[in-house]
């Protein structure tokens, strides 16, 4: 089967006060459809920066300065931000490590779940989007009450 994702010798650098720092140096791997790939390594070795490079979610001082990220035959490093937005959260997503800092504390869980559906799927009404949201959760065997979507924010249970 053809590669779905082909990361080839990517290099990611960050501009710092002390000059450019290379965080990821010539990392390469392939991923075929249906395959699961785990990247392991000691803390600070570049796992997160590699993933953020693929998603084009690096902080402002970071950039992929070399190599290619072929996805469906297209090099993600060459796409415009608008093209990347169509792929991100739709075809390629990331589950961030720390829910307490990666979820927005002022939005409900429901709003955050619906954002991707609203941006990428062609549903006209809120009701359709909510139905889809529930369907997604049930597909993965989550059982939730309605209040989960409407009243729970990340810090609403904090003392
Ligand atoms: N915004 C940044 N500016 C400068 N260096 C960074 C930045 N983000 C990550 N780094 C550095 O990149 C390296 C790889 O980090 P990271 O990918 O987070 O490691 P991990 O493998 O634990 O996920 C680390 O040395 C880290 O300090
Ligand atoms: Mg990490």
Domain boundary among 79, 94, 109: 94
Residue nearest to atom 27 of ligand 1 (CA): 44
pLDDT score at 29: 97
The answer to whether residues 111 and 35 belong to one domain is: no
pLDDT tens-place string over residues 9-35 = 999 999 999 999 999 999 999 999 999
The token pair that represents 93 in the structure block: 């997503």
For residue 55, being part of any structural domain is answered with yes
pLDDT score at 145: 72
What's 51's domain CATH number? 3.40.50.300
Q: Give me the mean pLDDT over the 67-75 stretch.
A: 95
Answer yes or no: are the C-beta atoms of 103 and 44 closer than 8 Å: no
pTM to 2 decimals? Answer: 0.85
For residue 159, being part of any structural domain is answered with no
Q: Give me the mean pLDDT over the 64-77 stretch.
A: 96
For residue 132, being part of any structural domain is answered with yes
User: How many domains are contained in the chain?
Assistant: 2
Domain boundary among 52, 76, 94: 94
Ligand 1 and 156: CB distance under 6 A:
no
pLDDT score at 153: 67
Domain boundary among 94, 112, 132: 94
Distance in Å, CA 54 to ligand 2 centroid: 14
Q: To test the ligand 1 pocket, which listed residue (44, 51, 54) has its Cβ within 8 A of the most ligand atoms? A: 44
Distance in Å, CA 101 to ligand 1 centroid: 17
What is the position in ligand 1's atom list of the atom closest to the CA of 47? Answer: 21
pLDDT score at 66: 97
pLDDT at 99 over 80: no
Ligand 1 and 110: CB distance under 6 A:
no
Q: Which residues surround ligand 2, an ion (CB under 5 A)?
A: 47-48
pLDDT score at 124: 86
pLDDT tens-place string over residues 132-150 = 888 888 887 777 776 667 7
The answer to whether residues 23 and 82 belong to one domain is: yes
pLDDT score at 134: 84
For residue 105, being part of any structural domain is answered with yes
The answer to whether residues 108 and 76 belong to one domain is: no
The answer to whether residues 105 and 80 belong to one domain is: no
Q: Give me the mean pLDDT over the 89-106 stretch.
A: 85
For residue 67, being part of any structural domain is answered with yes
Residue ranges making up the domain that contains 39: 3-94
User: Cα separations (Å) of 128 from 7, 103, 142?
Assistant: 37, 23, 19
Q: Give me the mean pLDDT over the 40-50 stretch.
A: 96
List alpha helices for 22-125, DSSP H. Answer: 47-55, 81-87, 99-102, 109-120
Residue nearest to atom 25 of ligand 1 (CA): 44
């Amino acid at each position: 089967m053809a590669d779905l994702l082909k990361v080839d010798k990517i290099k990611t650098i960050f501009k710092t006060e002390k000059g450019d720092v290379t965080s990821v140096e010539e990392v390469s791997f392939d991923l075929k459809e249906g395959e699961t790939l785990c990247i392991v390594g000691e803390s600070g070795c570049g796992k997160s920066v590699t993933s953020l490079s693929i998603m084009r979610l690096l902080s402002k001082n970071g950039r992929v300065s070399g190599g290619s990220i072929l996805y469906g035959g297209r090099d993600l490093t060459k796409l415009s931000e608008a093209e990347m937005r169509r792929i991100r959260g739709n075809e390629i997503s990331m589950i961030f490590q720390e829910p307490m800092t990666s979820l927005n504390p002022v939005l409900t869980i429901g709003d955050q779940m619906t954002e991707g559906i609203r941006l990428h799927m062609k549903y006209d009404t809120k009701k359709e989007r909510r139905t889809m949201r529930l369907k997604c959760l049930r597909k993965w065997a989550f059982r939730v009450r309605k209040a989960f979507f409407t009243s729970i924010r990340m810090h609403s249970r904090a003392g």
